[in-house]
Chain A
Amino acid sequence: MSYELVKAHLNLYAVLQNLEELVVHDNQMKDFVKDWNLSIQFYVPGGPKAFIVFKDGKCTVGRGVKRCASILLFFVSPAQLNKMFDGKGNPMLLRGFTKIGFLLKKFPVLTDRLAYYLKPTDELLKDSNYLELNTRFTLATAAFAAREIALHDPIGKLVCGHIRKGAVQLVVKPEGPGAYLQFDENGIDVKKGFAQRPMAVMEMKGMKEANAFLNGKVDGFTAIVKGDVAIKGQTSMLDSLSLVLDRVPEYLS
């Protein structure tokens, strides 16, 4: 799979899903989308496809094609989709011409807000609310990106080719957020929340420690020995997952 195609998978399946949580945890955005009632389809022929549904103040991001989406955004290639995510290109609007105002003025407010949370600075991280949301989104992005890299990146496939079956849980203590990857004979599934009986667990001590770890400000070995991150269970699964996660910056800077 080409670089652009893997990156398109990450953009649609790992980055976009954060909108669900954004409208839950950011009060300004929660209020902003409360009356939205429409859906947007992202379509890349021969590539990833995803949709967003806004209804009753909720946002749902799904994989695949949603029939009769209000807006259909068509991308001639994965590279074109990636350009849009990088703020350097536009899609072709194939359906929803009456909603062009929404696309040009309203929707970018939401995506800009997500970009704001996904691009931390030391100054922004001094705000505990910002730190919490950045941690939450970074954890989810990492978990969802790990699936795509493990399935599609050439090295990711090699690393995860022989991974043991079972769930790998990532969690910020004491109460979350959490996300887990389930490896089984059918492939890899990723979910937010908590697995019933994980084979391996990585627990981050708190939001601050999780943020430093997830943003690469401290290496995993040191974080573990200092007690900021705890691992247990089939930790060879975490070793593999760690190598996969280390490849995310190759695609998402």
Chain B
Amino acid sequence: MKTYSYKKSHALFNRAAKVIPCGIYGHFSPAPLIPVSDYPFYASRGKGSRFRDVDGNEFIDYMCAYGPMVLGYNHPKVEAAAAKYQKAGSCLMGPSPVMVELAEYMVDLISGMDWAFFAKNGGDVTNYAAMIARSATGRKKIVAISGGYHGVAPWMQAPGHHGLIEEDYVNMIRIRWNRFDEFEKAVKENPGQIAGFIASPYHHPTFVDNELPGDGYWQKVQALCNKEGIVLIIDDVRCGFRLDMRGSHVYFGFEPDLVCFCKAIANGHPISALMGKNSLKSEAARVFYTGSYWFQSAPMAAALATLKELRRINGPKIMLERGKKLLDGMVKIAANHGFTLKVSGAPSMPYLRITDDETLMLHQQWCAECTKRGAYFTSHHNWFISTAHTDADIKRTWDIVDEACKVIKKQYM
């Protein structure tokens, strides 16, 4: 199989490093891609499940732009809806009627939620959720899960990161995932002080196996939140619309007070949403929160088209099934070469790890070998499946996985 090279990507990065901090910053920084020389840095175009980099290499994308791509790049229905509003003027002196239409559609779609508020990024709405919780309860503290990610606002980041001061995290209580006893303890030790509990529907940190909720975990958390007047916030930014169209809380059988959506909501168009129960609607209205581009109509139209299409085809079911098919095949291929490939999390957004080497170096090499043959895998983060991933993509991926296993077997065994 031909392996890729990335001359133009590297040249672009060298230019970027002179004028942009980090060259490429944030979650798109190539730094966690190991070895970095085996990965492309810049993309040029995408269609369906695939994208091309600036060197012309084509990849079956298993990161889906870290989640936003869910129906396939450049989906015709989504792009047509966005283009219609873009042509009419996406940022005008007042919101478009499509904002109302989208809110009504989402209130109808998402279980237990009575209102919707739109912003741009996931962190916009997780932050807004915490502000609403604090405003509603008159309390300061927020309970979150160690290793959980909710964005980049100072309170969301772990101590020690640059730009943070002690006051940013002094009201954060971090507990371990699936440890209801630790939540109980936090509530007991901070009586009447906890405003909210925020977590993703299941635990999907980087670098380690992902964990689903234990039996009864969410139900016990919900019951304690209800009893103590703590606002239960679900960060469904990553899982949203990849487990259940009605919200991932339906998939796990519980009812939060606030739910945050972004990523898959508009198939790559910039929009996020906070949804909530009626009991918090007035409080949401009291918290002043806005942004220059939060009322753009084109992303709202894109979101509406994306959600309608995902609902029509039952997108989560497709992604869960295709993910399972892909992963079952990969596990078998790895086993044929003597490797144990462990899959954790949901099949529509799995985290994979070759367990034969606890340092992850073997796994990193395998992901890199696959990537430079055209299946874009990362070793540190969960992957994403889209409805655009076809059987042909899966078959091609299996061939790549097979060859990559042969390569690493020669090097390591």
Contact = CB atoms under 8 A, between A and B. Distances in A.
Contacts of A219: 21-22
B35 A232 contact: yes
A158 B24 CA distance: 28
B49 to A, nearest CB: 26
B37 A227 contact: yes
Given A159-B158, A159-B159, A221-B22, A234 B36 contact: no
Central interface residue in B17, B30, B41, B380, by most chain A CB within 10 Å: B17
A175 B41 CA distance: 30
A226 interface: yes
B29 A230 contact: no
Contact of A222 (B23, B146, B359): B23
Contact of B23 (A159, A225, A235): A225
B358 interface: yes
B94 interface: no
B36 A225 contact: yes
Nearest to B32: A235
Contacts of B22: 219, 221-222
Nearest to A243: B160
Contact of A221 (B23, B37, B206): B23
Nearest to A244: B160
Contacts of A69: none
A224 B36 contact: yes
Given A198-B359, A220-B31, A155 B160 contact: yes
B207 A230 contact: no
Interface residues of B, number: 31
Contacts of B160: 155-156, 158-159, 240, 243-244, 247
A189 interface: no
Could you tell me the dominant secondary structure of chain B's interface residues? loop
Interface string B133-155: 00000000000001000000000
Given A233-B361, A234-B359, A225 B158 contact: no
A225 B29 contact: yes
Interface string A136-179: 00000000000000000001101100100010000000000000
B13 A199 contact: no
B358 A236 contact: no
B364 interface: yes
A164 B146 CA distance: 14
Contacts of A200: 359
A125 interface: no
Given A155-B160, A159-B160, A236-B207, A225 B24 contact: yes
Central interface residue in B29, B31, B160, by most chain A CB within 10 Å: B160
Contact of B207 (A166, A198, A234, A244): A234
Contacts of A233: 359-361, 364
B54 to A, nearest CB: 15
Given A155-B160, A235-B207, A222 B380 contact: no
A225 B32 CA distance: 9
Contacts of B162: 246
Contacts of A159: 158-160
B65 interface: no
Interface in B4-39: 13-14, 17, 21-25, 29-32, 34-37
B31 to A, nearest CB: 4
A226 B14 contact: yes
A225 B9 CA distance: 11
Contact of A232 (B25, B34, B41, B207): B34
Interface string A184-220: 0000000000000111100000000000000000011
Given A155-B159, A221-B22, A243-B160, A199 B34 contact: no
A248 interface: no
B267 to A, nearest CB: 28
Contacts of A224: 30-31, 36
Contacts of B14: 226
Contacts of B364: 232-233
Interface string B151-172: 0000000111110000000000
A73 interface: no
Contacts of A225: 13, 17, 23-24, 29-31, 36, 41
22 contacts: A159-B160, A198-B359, A199-B358, A199-B359, A219-B21, A222-B22, A222-B23, A225-B13, A225-B17, A225-B23, A225-B24, A225-B30, A225-B36, A231-B34, A232-B34, A232-B359, A232-B364, A233-B361, A234-B360, A244-B160, A246-B162, A247-B160
Interface of B: 13-14, 17, 21-25, 29-32, 34-37, 41, 146, 158-162, 206-207, 358-361, 364, 380
